[in-house]
Structure 1
Amino acid sequence: MEIPWVIEEHTKVKHQLLKSYINPWMAILFSQQKRMGFPERLFYFDGFSGPGIYYEDNSESSTCLGSPLIVAEIANKYLDANSKREIILTCTDNHGGCVNMLNQKLTEMNKHEQRWKAYHAEFDTAINAILDLIEEDGLNTSPMFFFIDPFGYSGFPLSTIERILKFPQAELFINFMIYDIIRFCEEKQFEENMEALFGCKEFKKVSALNGEEKQSYLVNLYCKQLKNVARAEFVMPFRINTPKQGNRPKYYLIHASKKFKALKVMKDTMAKISDSPYSFVAIGISSQESLFENPDKVSLRERISKYCQDKYPDWIDYSEIEAWTYSNTNGISKTIKEALIALEKDNALNIKRKPRQRANTVTEGAKIVYIG
C-alpha cells in the first residue's frame, strides 16, 4: 500500500502538541514510578490512528510521522535510557491498509521488542476488549494516555470514555469535531450516534440556538458529561484557531483526567507552543448554572475576582486560587499572577505575602482576600 494522504496543517499542529506533551508525560511518570519502587510501565493508546506516516505536501517528495510513530520515537529515547522499562503502544483503525502500513512501521522502530501493535478494528470494540485484558492482568493502576482523534463524531461513546476514566491514572485527549457535530446533530438519522457521544439527549436543545450559541452549548455539554457521568476530575477544552475560521472553529481538543498535575502540564504545554496562524486557546468551562455561557468572553480577572468574592470574608491560599483557575478558566501561572496583581492595584483584593516575597509578584504561601 502506498502512503494514502498528504498531512493537513491542522494535523501537524495536533502532532506538534502531542509530541510536546508526551515527552514530559513519560519523564514525570517514570520518575514517580522509580521513586516509589513501582514497575516502570506506561500505556499509550491511539484511536483512529491512520497509517502512521504522511506525505509532507502535494509534491510527495518527503514524508513525516503520524501520532503513533511520533510516540514510538519518543518511547525509544526512554527505553534507550533504561531497557527494563515497558511502554505498551496500542493503536486502532478501521482501515485495513492503514493498519498494515502502521504495523510494518512499528515493527521497524520496535528495537526494544515492546508490545507495539495496531489492530484492524473499531475503536470502541477494540479498546473495551483490551481494557478487559488489562483488568485480568491486574494492571489497572498503570498510567494510561488515550489520544482519540476521529474523522467525525462517532465511534467513541461516552460509555467507553466513562470506563476508561475508571482507571485511576488514565487521561484522555479527544479531538471534538464541533463543525461536524453542529452540522449533523439536528438530523434524525444521526440521533443515535449523537446520544452515544453525549450520553444524554440534551444535545437536542441546540435547535433553538444560533451558530455561536450552538458551539458554546455543545462544548459545555460534552465537558459537563465528562465530569458528571464519566467522572473526570479535571476537564479543559482548547479551541483550535485556524486561518479564516471566523468565530466558528472546526474542532476543539479536550483534555480529561483525574490528576491536577496532568491538567497543569497540558495547559502549560499548550501555552508554550501556541502560535499563529494556528493556535490553541484554553477557554475554560462554563459555570454550573448555564451551559449557554461562553467562558471565552468572560475575562480572567473577572472570574478570579468573582471566585474571591464568593469566598469572602475568608482568606484564600494562592495555591487554591491557582488550582481553581487552572481547572475552570483559560489561566496559567503567569496570567493568574498578572490578574491578581492587577486586582490588587485596583483595590479589589488584598494580598498578604510571606516575609521576603516581592511586592510585584504572587507566589506559593501568599493569602488573598476580597475587599471590593
Structure 2
Amino acid sequence: MKENQFFEQQTMSSRIKASIVSEYFPKYCNIIINKHKPKELRYIDLFAGPGKYEDGNESTPLLVARNCLKNSFLQQHVRFIFNDNTYKEQLETNFMTEFPLGTFTINPFFSNRTVGEWKPITQYLIKSTHVGRCNESPALLFIDPFGYKGIETNVLAQFLQNWGNEIFLFINTKRIHPALENEKFEPLMRDLFPTTYETIKSDRKFKQSVSERLQLIIDNLGLEYQKILGTRVYYTAFRFQEEDIDTASHYIVHLTKGKRGFDLIKTIYNDFANVGTIFDGINTYTFDVKKIINPITELFDIGEQNIDNLKQAIYTSYCGKSISAFNLFEEHQITGNYCRSHYSKALRKLVSEGLLEASFTDNKNHLVSVLISKDCILKFK
C-alpha cells in the first residue's frame, strides 16, 4: 500500500493499534500522577496522520484526546504535540473541529517537519526535562512511520532515560527483513540497531522459522535500549497478522523503565488480542484480522495452557513460602509476558488444586479465593 493511499480506509489492525495507544495514555498518566503531579503530561506523535481516514474512521490523535477529555486533571495538564510532514493541515482541521481552542487548557501543537532530517526534533527529544527531583513534563512518545525511516534508537534511548517517559514504536517487520540484506539500507538499519546490527544480521541466519527471526528483531530492539542506557528496560510486543498472510507483518512495541507501565501494557494487550498464544519466548499477544473475517472455533483452549504454565512456574518459585499476592505479582510479573489476570487465574487454580492456601487480612468477604492485593496472604504447600 502506497503511503498516500494508507488513510483512504482504516484497516481492522489500524483500529486496534489506535485503540491500544488511546486506551493506554490516560491510564499511563494516572500512574505518573499517583507518584508525582508534574506541571504537564505530554503526548507526542511524530507521524500523526490526518486524524481521520477518508471513510470517516478516526485515528490515534482524536481517540487519545477524547479519552483525555474524560479526566478533568488531564484536560488541564495534557499537552498534545503532533507532527506530520504531509497531513498537518488536515490533522489540525480535524482536531480543532472536535476540540476547539479552549477545550484543553494547554493548546495543542501541530508541525509538518520531516523526522530524521529536521534537527530541532532530535534536539527536543534528547533534551532533559528534569527539574529538581522529578521530570516536570513526562511524555509518551508514539512513533508510527511508514516503514522504518526516522527511527534513531540512540535518540529515542536518550528520550526514554527521563523519568516517566515511555515509547510506543510501530514497526513494519516485512520491510526490516529485506533491508537487513540490502547494503543500500545499511545506514537506516544502523540507526535502528546501533549496537547489534552485525549480530542480528549474523544470528538471523540460524533461526529456523519466520517467527523466530521476527522475535530476534524485537528482542534486539529491546536490548538496544538496555545497552545504551545501562539499566533495565521492559519491552513488550503486540503482533498483527493481516488477512493476506499467515505470518506477522507489523508489531507495536512498548518500552518503559517502570514496572507499573509494564504491568499496564500487558493488561491492555490482553484485552485486544484475539489469538490464543502460548508465551514461549517467541510468541506474544496477537491480533489476527482473519479471525474477525472468518471465525474459527479452536479445538483446544491455548489460553488455559498459559495459565497452567504460569501456575507451574509460580509453584516452582514459591513452594513452601508465604507472601502477599501483591508482592508475588510485583516480583514475578517482570519476568515475562503474563498479565495481571493471568496471575489471578493461576493462583486461584493453585488454591483449587490444594497446593496453596489463601487468606485475607481486611476482614471482608470475598467472592474469589485470590486477589492481587496486599491483604491477600498466600501460603504455598
Q: TM-score, normalised by structure 1?
A: 0.77
User: After the TM superposition, which residues 178-193 of structure 1 pair with which residues of structure 2 at under 5 Å, given as runs?
Assistant: 178-193=173-188
Q: Offset at 1:163? A: 0.8
Find 2:88's aligned residue among 99, 108, 123: 99
What CA RMSD, in Å, does the superposition of the two structures yield over aligned residues? 3.7
Which shifted more, 82-91 or 201-210?
Answer: 82-91
1:163 to 152, 158, 162: 158
- Report the counterpart of residue 40 of structure 2 in structure 1: 41
Q: How does 1:1-372 map to 2 (within 5 A)?
A: 5-26=8-29, 29=32, 32=34, 38=37, 40-56=39-55, 63-78=56-71, 81=72, 85-95=76-86, 98-108=87-97, 109-112=99-102, 114-124=106-116, 125-131=119-125, 135=129, 140-199=135-194, 200-201=196-197, 202-204=199-201, 205-210=203-208, 211-230=210-229, 231=231, 233-243=233-243, 245-246=245-246, 248-272=247-271, 274=272, 279=274, 286=281, 299-303=306-310, 305-306=312-313, 308-310=315-317, 314-343=321-350, 349-354=355-360, 361-363=369-371, 364=373, 365-369=376-380
Whole-angstrom CA distance in 1 between matches of 2:276 and 2:141: 21
When residues 265 and 4 of structure 1 are mapped into structure 2, their CA distance, relative to the original with a 3 A threshold, is closer
Distance in 1 (alpha carbons) for counterparts of 2:5 and 2:360: 63
Deviation track 1:182-221 (CA, whole Å, cap 9, x = no partner) reads: 2322222222222221232221121232322211222222
Deviations 1:235-259 (A, max 9, x none): 221223444542x211121112222
Q: Partners in 2 of 1:317 and 1:362 — Cα distance?
A: 10
1:289 maps to none
Question: SS of 1:250's equivalent?
Answer: strand
Q: 1:236 to 1:22 in 2, by over 3 A?
A: same
Gaps of 5+ in 2: 286-301
| % identical aligned pairs | 18
From the superposition, tell whether residues 135 and 20 of structure 1 become closer, same or farther in structure 2 (CA, over 3 Å). closer
| 8 A contact 1:53–1:66 mirrored in 2 | yes
Asked if the contact 1:341–1:361 (Cα under 8 Å) also holds between the matched residues in 2, the reply is yes
Give 2:294's aligned residue: none
Which ranges of structure 1 fall in alignment gaps of 5 or more residues?
Answer: 57-62, 287-292
C-alpha separation between the residues in 1 aligned to 2:205 and 2:74? 55
Q: Partners of 1:100 and 1:216 in 2: how far apart?
A: 37
Aligned residues: 344
Distance in 2 (alpha carbons) for counterparts of 1:15 and 1:7: 10
| 1:171–1:263 Cα change, 3 Å | same
Give 1:27 deviation, angstroms.
5.1
Change (3 A) 1:117 1:283: farther
What is the SS of the residue equivalent to 2:49?
coil
Normalising by structure 2, report the TM-score.
Answer: 0.75
